[in-house]
Amino acid sequence: MNQARKEIHCDSVYEMGITGAGVGVAVLDTGIYPHEDFGNRVVAFKDYVHHRVGPYDDNGHGTHIAAIIGGSGVSSGGVYRGVAPGCSLIAVKVLDNKGNGFASDVLAGLGWIREHKEEYNIQIVNISVGSLSRRDMTENSVLVRGVDAAWDDGLVVVVAAGNHGPGRMTITTPGISRKVITVGCSDDYKEVDVMGNRMVDYSGRGPTLACVSKPDIVAPGSGIVSCCNQPARYMTKSGTSMSTPLVSGAIALLLERYPHMSNKDVKMRLMERAVDMGMPHNQQGWGMLDVERLVL
């Protein structure tokens, strides 16, 4: 995380005292472990897999994602601090201990977030999960309709492009939605381990089957060290799953500074302030996330 924060230029924003304070970020994933780096900022937990009440994460993926967004880094002396260490976190468990799940649980989680967005000031939804099954690849799929409904409710929905690149039309669902902000990996030229497989050039690439240009933006995702589901411990993970929460955290910083921005305003500003990396549009979208340019 220390390297990723440097690559996306966070420091000058922190110097202004902006940490994402007061902004609620919902994470649809495998749950959240009550790691020291979250302090008392996990303000809500909902479990659609085992229907437990207290926060837990029997996989670790969701905890890793949530800490990229908003971990304080207290257990690492600040080294592995997340992008928005002042934000509030709302964890919705829709994936099991293997990281698998059902579209119905994702939809139920999205519905719960929409119902409780005022209560927990949820402004951003991070979805680092996706499906590449042919049945789900149309814009009429239930997952796309679900994220579109959340977007239409005013939520900023940030979704991973998936790890099935580098071929065309490899953006996973619901990242194919033309409304949401779809995030690819800016450094997938590095060979990394993704879910036990050695991969390179894995970031999902557009266009979608409906000829929508995706991804929208890219951020680092290779070898990101963040919290794991054990006390005061960290682990390394790679993939567009890790790129996505960097963008969600950056948006939390943006919304602390400009609290009246709509989700369309946020998307437009991301587009205008991204840094062109000189890659094909179906690989980099608008370009690389730059927090300093985005927020200041």
Active site residues: 29, 61, 241
| Residue 82, Ramachandran bin (φ over 0: left; ψ between -120 and 50: alpha; else beta) | beta
Give the C-alpha separation, 261 to 162, whole Å: 28
Residue with tokens 């879910």: 195
Give the C-alpha separation, 141 to 146, whole Å: 9
Q: 68, 135, 64, 148: which is closest to 107 by C-alpha?
A: 148
CA distances from 75 to 91, 128, 246, 253, 276 (A): 21, 24, 20, 22, 35
Residue with tokens 């239930």: 142
Q: Coil, strand, or helix at residue 201?
A: coil
The Cβ of residue 264 has, within 10 Å, a number of other Cβ atoms equal to 12
Give the C-alpha separation, 160 to 217, whole Å: 10
